[in-house]
Structure 1
Amino acid sequence: MIGLGYVGLPLAMSIARAGFTVVGFDIDPSKITAVEAGESYIEAVPSEVLQAETSAGRFTATCDFSRLAECDVIAICVPTPLTRHRDPDLSFVERTCSKIAETLRPGQLVVLESTTWPGTTNEVMKPILEAKGLRSGTDFFLGFSPEREDPGNRDFSTSTIPKVVAGDGPDASALMEAFYSAVVKTVVPVSTTATAEAVKLTENIFRAVNIALVNELKLVYDAMGIDVWEVIDAAKTKPFGYMPFYPGPGLGGHCIPIDPFYLTWKSREFDRPTRFIELAGEINTAMPHYVVDKVAEALDRHAGKALSRSRVLVMGLAYKKNVPDIRESPSLRLMELLVERGADVAYHDPYVSEVPRTREYADLMGRRSVALDEETVAGFDIVLISTDHDDVDYAAIAAWAPLIVDTRNVFARHNIAAGNIFKA
């Protein structure tokens, strides 16, 4: 298992619990140290589960990539981010494949789990792995199976989420189906690796476009004096032909803000425009600006104070509730925009004690979560609800805060009504 992050570690545990011996590889020594100490750094993997698999000898972790030769199946779970120009960055995949090629031996099955554009497995991975003479489908086998992790989801785990699988050729396809059938409850074979790659993109593009739609509807209905949340609640009572999606302060996580642009990039090769995808990206990217404008408006109208002279408390740093995951979190962008407009900004998050090092928000690094008590909250001019964690006393916040801007409809959901609460 190459890459022991949010995807790799849960998958490694599922494979180990299925009875396989798993070696985890990562370039981050701190992850190896944590595994050796039996301390999980991923919420989906309780420390006791990690300890059980390591003590049973079914899971070990290492930075020594020469040990790849020991493995019969090599699963790649490394990041596939975007560049600053929204082009795919496959450097992690390419470097990983080069490492695998150094020790690749006949009979090994190499699987990519990372989300990418259709064709990556055959067009990028395959040439790198074949560079030293071994051939896919004859000497080694190549496959793709998209990860479907959903941090914080209590209803589904790695082993219960249906697994889409595909191989480069019939033998690789058979091996993919046999291996993953031993690990997860349901395997969904598809005809080609490009099809499997397209499946994952389709899932996340569907969500991105629909979230953009309700975000745009929120802007329109707000101008009309209509509560979009009430509209959605009423619309979802229709038992057919409608699926509810909900607006927010922007998109976050490792999938939805990034994956659609992998297809947008690839589509240029075929001279096919992706107008829906690009428009959805524009709408979702603009949401933090709309929210900050609503904060400024609330301060001006109800406190007679400029944003540049105000103290703002952002509630929630994680990109979704009840998880410590801040990847692509809109809260970071909101904090950055508020600081740019002169506000004094702090945050509270019960899951994220400190802003870690990030690629794009270096100026926020090191800020620590403030206490959530009456004196602290009352000391801010306005509270911005960006992430609606469940274990927060929203009634207390309503009582303590001078003003509140709620981007998640959390107070209405908790039946808390007050004159200081405004939706955005």
Structure 2
Amino acid sequence: MTVINTSPLHRSISDRSARITIWGAGFIGLSAATAFVQEGFRCSVVDVNASRVRCINAGTVPLPGFEDRVHLDPQALRDGRLRAVSPDDTDALDAQIHLICVNTERGGKAFRDPLQAVLKAIGSAHRADRELLVSIESTVSVRWLDLVLPLLTGATGVVGTGIHLATAPRRDWLLDPEMNLRSLPRVVGTLNPASQPLVTELYGTVSDVVHMTGDWTRAALSKSVENLYRYVDLVLTNQLAEAYPDLDMAEVFRLAGTKWNVPTLHPSIGIGGYCIPLSPHYAGDGLLGEGQLPLVDSALNWDATHSSRVAQWLTSKFDGPIGILGVSYAPDVLLPQGSPTLALAAALSARGADVRLHDPFLSTEEVIALGEGARALRWPEDLASVRTLVIATPHTAYAKLPDHLSALNDPPTVIDSLGRMRDVLAGTKVRYVEMGTPALWAEHDPALVNGTSGSDATR
């Protein structure tokens, strides 16, 4: 049976005449805007950062490392189908479709102020005689959804038929360009079931698979829950590596990962980013510490001291100065938010260690500002000045690290957080320790092979 779309807004989505305003010009917002523009929509991207706005309008992606993931169409910029604007832009406020992609994290905690500011701005410009679709793509606590209508309408009454509210949290995997907005299944939910056809039509233009739920709360919570699964698994991985310090736990995890329904995880210096580490706070808003999520409470408490234990291990077993390569939590992009490197650097500095950081996306001044007592390490000139080198993030810029180390008379001991340098450093003179793998250290230390100081290789 053919369904006739009687809603003017629904028809404008179908014929691509609807104007879309996207709040937030980070990777999520900017990639969404370029995807919708590619499908024929006109998009305004709103951001409070004036420099970022200027860059976009000049055709430059203002996100270091994301240039090959976000493609700004020069023709779309010239003819106004894509434009970046400030929050007070009247045309952007006048749009009938608003997608909220602002950052809801600050200082490692869930932070809702930007979301509230956007909702107030949209509500102040909305005309009661027109339909309005507001979709929240930012990660949120389900408790925050109770604030949406009051902020939009200034009242707590029942939503009118002209206002469509949805949650559509983004899924992204920066390590694989094939896993993107188009290919990854999208979970979407609406407050009112009557809004489902309209919202499905909109997101179906940029995502091949749209899973529509019967409730926008369920859609919002699904993002936190899927990240929470991974968070608990990663905490357990680090716990197991510490519990069995004399075993090759990295191989144990690889062997466990050969089972079809078990992911292959790796112990590390810490869990990075502002998605996975924050998932307990979004999913457990109002529940944490109340005994309703005891597993999550326990994981959080243990993980909060993980960087201190790694710092204790490094300072007690290895010589300084200690260099750390990689501040961004993901390779080949600038993402220092929630960096486990910064947490480790702070813990090392607190123990009086001489810590030196490098990241190809950060200047010396930026490293010093972020490093909490750490100094900047010049790449590759300063490799000879450190005695221990932690590989935190395997940026492509470090591809020649084996050559640089092999050229040194006495290269530093390498501590590889994720084991990415295992193969390329095998057989070299570099003393190598993979997190969770004491055996690889032993290969380069006869004393350890003979069993005289096995604990030196462990955390």
TM-score, length of structure 1 as denominator length: 0.87
**Structure-to-structure mapping, 1:1-400, within 5 angstroms:** 1-42=22-63, 43-46=65-68, 49-63=72-86, 64-81=88-105, 88-105=110-127, 106-121=130-145, 123-131=146-154, 136-222=159-245, 225-238=246-259, 240-267=260-287, 273-299=292-318, 310-354=320-364, 356=366, 361=370, 363=372, 368=376, 370-373=378-381, 376-392=382-398, 393-396=400-403, 398-399=405-406, 400=408
The answer for unaligned runs of 5 or more in structure 2 is 1-21, 436-459
Q: CA deviation at 1:361?
A: 4.4
1:299-333, Cα deviation, whole Å (9 max, x unpaired): 2xxx5xxxxxx322111111122322111001111
Change (3 A) 1:53 1:44: farther
Q: Which residue pairs with 1:407 in the alignment? A: 417
Q: Which residue pairs with 2:451 in the alignment? A: none
- Compute the RMSD of aligned alpha carbons: 2.6
- 2:404 & 2:311 partners in 1: Cα distance? 20
CA contact 2:168–2:188 (8 Å) conserved in 1 = yes
CA contact 2:34–2:71 (8 Å) conserved in 1 = no
SS of aligned partner of 2:379: coil
1:146-172, Cα deviation, whole Å (9 max, x unpaired): 011233432212222211111111222
SS of aligned partner of 1:179: helix
The answer for unaligned runs of 5 or more in structure 1 is 304-309
Q: CA deviation at 1:350?
A: 2.6
CA contact 1:144–1:166 (8 Å) conserved in 2 = yes
1:391-421, Cα deviation, whole Å (9 max, x unpaired): 4224235433232222222332435255622
1:188-222, Cα deviation, whole Å (9 max, x unpaired): 10110110011101110010000011110110121
CA contact 1:65–1:99 (8 Å) conserved in 2 = no
1:320-356, Cα deviation, whole Å (9 max, x unpaired): 2232211100111122222222223222223334564
Quick one: which amino acid aligns to residue 396 of structure 1?
D
Change (3 A) 1:268 1:402: closer
Please tell me whether Structure 1 or Structure 2 has the larger radius of gyration of its CA atoms: 2
Change (3 A) 1:56 1:356: farther
Q: CA deviation at 1:137?
A: 4.2
- 1:133 & 1:201 partners in 2: Cα distance? 26
1:71-120, Cα deviation, whole Å (9 max, x unpaired): 12100111212677x5x421111111111111013211011111112243
Q: CA deviation at 1:244?
A: 1.6
Quick one: which amino acid aligns to residue 434 of structure 2?
K
Quick one: which amino acid aligns to residue 310 of structure 2?
V
CA contact 2:357–2:371 (8 Å) conserved in 1 = no
Q: Identity across aligned pairs (percent)?
A: 23
SS of aligned partner of 2:274: coil
Q: Which residue pairs with 2:450 in the alignment? A: none
Aligned length: 404
